[in-house]
Amino acid sequence: MRVLTAAQMREADRRCIEDIGIPGAVLMNNAGTAVYRELPAAGSVGVVCGRGNNGGDGYVVARLALLAGRATRVVLVGRQDLITGDAAAFLRVYRNLGGAMRAVDDEVAAADAVIGLADCDVLVDALLGTGISGAVRGPVRAAIEAWPRVHTVAVDIPSGLDADTGQPCGCAVRADVTVTFQFAKRGFLAREARGYLGRLVVADIGIPECCTEGF
C-alpha cells in the first residue's frame, strides 16, 4: 500500500488540477461517489460537513443519497456564506434538490445538531480533511465530542486525526469505515490510528500516477 504525507497529497491534487487540467469539481464528485458506495445499501443518511473541500465531498454524498430516495440530512458546522469554490457549487445543487440542511456556528448548537442525527442509520464524517494543524477547537470539537454511536463512514480521514502522525489532534471521530482518496496517508500506519480508521478503503478518484513523480 503506497502512502503519502499530507503535503505530498496536496501537491498531487495541485498537479492534477493545474498541470493535467482535470477540474477540481470532477475529483470532488468522484470522491463523494466513492464514499457513497461504501454506505449501507439502505436507510437514512446524516452528513456532517465542514467549511472546506472535505465538506464538498460530503455534499456529493448527500446529493446521491437524496436522489436515491433516502432520508437525508446535512449539518454544516460553520456559516454557509463562507463556503466557496467547488464545495459551494455542490452545496447549492443539494439545496436546489430540496435537501435538508442545518448550519451551526457555535459550540452548543453544533453539539445539539450532531446529537440530533442519532436516529440516522449511517453518518458521514465530512468535517475535517488532511490539512488540520494544532488542536481541534470550537464548534468542530463540540461536534466531534457529541458524535453519536451510529455507523460512521469518514471522508478521506476521520476528522481530527493527524494525517502524518496518526494521532488525534485533541479529539477525533472514530469511524467504522474510512474512504481515503487515491493513496493512504502516512499516519494511517501508526498503531494509534487503527482505533479511529475502522475498515480502510483506498478509492481511485482519477488522479494519474504521474502526479506523484518525485515523491
Complete domains list, the chain, with CATH: 3-212 (3.40.50.10260)
With both helix axes pointing from N to C terminus, report the angle between 85-96 and 53-67 in degrees, rounded to the nearest 10. 20
- Tell whether pTM > 0.85: yes
> Three-class SS of residue 168?
strand
pLDDT for position 195: 95
| For range 91-111, the mean pLDDT | 97
pLDDT tens readout for residues 23-78: 999 999 999 999 999 999 999 999 999 999 999 999 999 999 999 999 999 999 99
Question: In this predicted structure, what is the pLDDT of residue 1?
Answer: 78
The answer to whether the Cα torsion of 82, 84, 12, 123 is positive or negative is positive
Q: Which residue has the higher pLDDT, 175 or 133?
A: 175
- pLDDT of 132 > 90? The answer is no
Query: Which residues are CB-neighbours of 189 under 8 A, at least 6 positions away?
Result: 3, 166
* 97 three-class SS: coil
- Please count the other Cβ atoms lying within 10 Å of the Cβ belonging to residue 98: 8
